[in-house]
Structure 1
């Protein structure tokens, strides 16, 4: 099944004033209840990365887990979970960051990735880039190379994807919402 940008975008809903007033939240959860849309999204990433030299897929809590876990399964790659503080057992390393509506902290388990690993970092959405930069920092602290950052949605008006690309990390998103 081929990827259809219009079809997938038709599944993404905008929730105004969530999680706080002034935010237009792009909700990808309808994709998960639409088998055709889910297949299109997963297949688009599988086709993009099937012949790549990535060794691991890292994903960010929590919506990023849903696509990345299927992608890791399809590509037969280890999955690294990047979670909100306090959600992972054992020894972890953490990184705080700012996001468009507050502050937060991410963690990964120590030893979850080895020196020289070639990592695809996946999240559902790229906004200001704060979450992704925190995740990139955690992975790099363990010696990983970030091959690419991937997301379903890019919000280029918020500048995150441009900042990531300026750090010499490629970015790929299935769709973008500009000026709205």
Structure 2
């Protein structure tokens, strides 16, 4: 583990048994409340993607918006909002999926990407992979290609990264809480 990962993890709070019994929620609020660790996150992601041919960034509702919007600005790329159901004005396309603790539906606006676009999907966390897989399905239905799925945190014990890799999507995270999910 690098020093940066240790520092990053020290600024992520574990909330046990929330939003339900048996789940440990990884709260990035402490990281966002301090300029240094938040800058570290944005700088690391900017450096990773600055020399790649990415056409758009798809940020997942809601904490993914915080990271994705700044990254899109830094990379001078359009931002696609992957929102929870009924939060975007029509016309939208929808995809339902399972979460670690329930089920949900996400949507994007029709025409938010086009055939051949290379899209980076970004969120705060990869748990079961359901949200990113649903986002991927939506983007691909519009003719886009998923360049990679990136997150601040990976929870490898929940197998989301493995599921994404098994369908051909590369995965990148800045830190992992293995054995601690």
Question: Which bracket does the TM-score occupy, shorter chain normalised?
Answer: over 0.9
The separation in 2 between residues aligned to 1:90 and 1:157, in whole angstroms, is: 37
Q: Which residue of 2 aligns with 1:77?
A: 77
Q: How many residue pairs get matched?
A: 178
Unaligned runs of at least 5 residues, structure 1: none
* Offset of residue 168 of structure 1: 1.2
* Offset of residue 138 of structure 1: 0.4
The separation in 1 between residues aligned to 2:27 and 2:161, in whole angstroms, is: 19
The separation in 2 between residues aligned to 1:175 and 1:8, in whole angstroms, is: 8
Instruction: List structure 1 segments (4+ residues) > 3 angstroms apart after TM superposition.
Output: none
Residues 8-23 of structure 1 mapped to structure 2, 5 A cutoff: 8-23=8-23
Q: Which residue of 2 aligns with 1:95?
A: 95
The separation in 1 between residues aligned to 2:5 and 2:98, in whole angstroms, is: 30
1:56 lines up with 2:56 in the alignment: yes
Q: Which residue of 1 aligns with 2:150?
A: 150
Query: TM-score, normalised to structure 2's length?
Result: 0.97
The separation in 2 between residues aligned to 1:166 and 1:28, in whole angstroms, is: 28
* Offset of residue 62 of structure 1: 0.1
Q: Which residue of 2 aligns with 1:4?
A: 4
* Offset of residue 90 of structure 1: 2.0
* Offset of residue 30 of structure 1: 1.1
RMSD across aligned positions (CA): 0.8
SS of 1:4's equivalent in the other structure is: helix
Residues 22-171 of structure 1 mapped to structure 2, 5 A cutoff: 22-171=22-171
The separation in 2 between residues aligned to 1:26 and 1:57, in whole angstroms, is: 23
SS of 1:52's equivalent in the other structure is: coil
Query: TM-score, normalised to structure 1's length?
Result: 0.97
The separation in 2 between residues aligned to 1:90 and 1:103, in whole angstroms, is: 22
* Offset of residue 31 of structure 1: 1.1
SS of 1:42's equivalent in the other structure is: helix
